[in-house]
Amino acid sequence: MIVYLHGFASSGGASRKVRYLRSELPDVAIFAPTYSHDPALAIPFLEAYFLDRSRQNKQNGEVLLVVGAGLGGFYALHFQRLFAHKTVLINPVLWPGESLKARLGDNINFKTGEQFILEARHLHRFQALHVHVADTRPDLVLLDDGDAEVEAGVTRRVFSDDVDIQVFPGGSHRFDHLQESLPMIKALLDDA
């Protein structure tokens, strides 16, 4: 079972990555919730969502793999501490309280067209979550070296040497190397 957590100003089911994973892994249940840009709303929603998926996962005896892209990587790490699932980060935003400062004000969801306002209080809520990323251990980190929003070198330095980090030349924040990464994702699903 895969739970995909989308990035900032995006949505779950409309994601290009989700569509690709569903086409390449037709026998794997892939869930992609859409949640609020406000962490005060996103956290309780995702916590309830993970409780439900964790129950399903245990009943079915499946591996629960969480794939977090961009801001979804931050949430994936937050919930890894609570639910001990396997985690893949794709161009993760590790400190949204800082990195989203450039997005303060009016925004548009890239997938739905919904308009919303990112306020300073939202950034403070991210900062209050205290996810100590250096103390977490994702199973796989996928980075595009050409990502203009998340610096691959900084992300590589954050995690310990025993974290599997794959850096692809070029690319973008959208992550342009999912096809090349699919065997690594499959291996995590197969490793029960």
How many structural domains does the chain have? 1
SS3 content of the chain, % helix, strand, coil (to 5): 45, 20, 40
Q: Containing domain of residue 38, as a range? A: 2-190
Write the DSSP string, 143-159. EETT-SSS-HHHHHHHS
Q: For residue 16, what is the domain's CATH number? A: 3.40.50.1820
pLDDT in tens, 35-92: 999 999 999 999 999 888 877 777 777 778 999 999 999 999 988 888 888 999 999 9
